[in-house]
Chains A and B, each alone.
Chain A
């Protein structure tokens, strides 16, 4: 898995609570081959999972990708799958992460739901 910038992500990133931003970044780009192999079709989502977490995203075919590689626009959905280790250099490894991908009927979490439960208990 790699994560990175897209135009739509950039245009929405100062406005993260909007539905446009959700549409722009809760995506999982994959190759046509992988799309077909996972048996995806209109209405189906993908679930990505690794040791750091799991997240549901809407699939999008991307002709620029080779099979076995997925691209997620940078943002909170992609970061569910990123580990915090910086290897001593301060920067987490946001790209080249192994994930398991499968088709799912579950729906994509809305942004507030993604952060629900995280809030610090008031003391």
Chain B
């Protein structure tokens, strides 16, 4: 059987043209996906059964035992952290928010180690954006700033940006100007008309210089900014102004560097100002396929898009205090549920060390470094492959992921529902 137009559940492109060949309930071939997507969809060795750590070793247990133990850990904790949520569907995210409310925990997503600064920038300035199809149909000038889609979002250029043809962009790549701004040459810069190499940590200065040049105040710009000669920056400003429809895509190169959210704030201002001359939009290159979704679901349920603290029954948001890395760095959390993300690999070492000191519940299809420091491990179905649900693309477009094959593993949503039931049962027991 061939499942046509399946959605790839790897990166924020959510390519929806994937053909998957299924034979006897197993995925045999994946067509149209890139290397990242097909390796995800094809899958590999899984965690076999739920496990609880006893005497230092993880021992297999029943699902019910694992749910009960997880509930116990969460209820016993003063301030449990419920972290991850990027590689699962919105249905699971909704259940997770309810669980965080019930146990009085902090819910944070992987956004805080990738585009968290973008979210804060947007809180400061708003987001002048568009759907990806708008870029495809109209953009004649595209800037990739601190991002490397050729390696992180391999089909972005073919489906949505530099190389695709659209109604007002019939020539595709040939009709477009592609600019890359980065601290190094990358695979993406090989496809660019112009690459501007800046010194690491100077994004803010370079954007400020561009804002001045765009506003016609170039006289205040020094001869060199971020290692780039003024003349080159002036050329870049002219390119931006000459666009009929311009798009800026930005990545972790700018959110992870010195300045962090201030860089984004500045980039958003640049794009806002460009709109008094021509048409420009800007978009963060979201990494995990549904990291956008957790931001959306959290915003409509709690009013805030990440790092939400429910310990006082009312949502409280203060990144720097309520983000996962901050909680861990200050030993301000005493248990963690890690779902659909690998905190042990992606957090700074000191945060991982702190995580290893508190009881950790892991919900994931695969073994990974987080498993090594977990007390309870609950294997789940792969959302978007073995379980259906909604996901939000990097441009905020909601798409429905189908189930491609059957599985005996419970979905993230089911697991969380069971933990919630155990929590309710324990709460009733405590009341009595």
Contact = CB atoms under 8 A, between A and B. Distances in A.
Complex: A in contact with B (CB within 8 Å): yes
Interface of A: 2-7, 10-18, 52-53, 62-66, 69, 71, 74-76, 79-96, 111-112, 114-115, 118-120, 122
A119 B252 CA distance: 30
A66 B97 CA distance: 45
Interface of B: 10-11, 35-36, 39-40, 44-45, 53-56, 108, 112-114, 116-117, 120, 148, 151-152, 154, 183-186, 189, 197, 200-201, 252-253, 255-258, 260-261, 287, 306-307, 319-320, 322-326, 328-329, 342, 344-353, 356-360, 365-369, 372-373, 375
A89 B366 contact: no
Contact of A76 (B114, B320, B322, B369): B369
A76 B345 CA distance: 4
B260 A112 contact: no
Contact of B348 (A52, A75, A118): A52
Given A91-B113, A94-B256, A84 B368 contact: no
A34 B325 CA distance: 33
B326 to A, nearest CB: 5
A91 B189 contact: no
A64 to B, nearest CB: 3
Contacts of A92: 113, 325, 347-348, 351
B33 to A, nearest CB: 11
B356 A118 contact: yes
Given A2-B256, A11-B35, A86-B112, 10 more contacts: A11-B39, A74-B346, A84-B329, A85-B329, A89-B261, A89-B320, A91-B117, A91-B319, A95-B253, A119-B56
Nearest to A112: B372
16 contacts: A10-B151, A17-B367, A53-B349, A64-B184, A64-B189, A87-B260, A90-B306, A91-B323, A92-B113, A111-B369, A112-B372, A114-B369, A118-B352, A118-B356, A119-B356, A119-B372
Contacts of B152: 4-5, 10
Contacts, number: 194
B372 A118 contact: yes
A118 B360 CA distance: 13
Task: Report which residue of B11, B108, B352 has the largest number of chain A beta carbons within 10 angstroms of its beta carbon.
Answer: B352
A5 B12 CA distance: 14
Nearest to B319: A90
Nearest to B55: A122
- The 5 nearest A-B residue pairs measured at CB: A90-B323, A90-B319, A64-B185, A88-B320, A84-B329
Task: Report which residue of A2, A5, A7 has the largest number of chain B beta carbons within 10 angstroms of its beta carbon.
Answer: A5
Contact of B201 (A17, A89, A96): A96
A6 B131 CA distance: 26
A80 to B, nearest CB: 5
Contacts of B114: 91
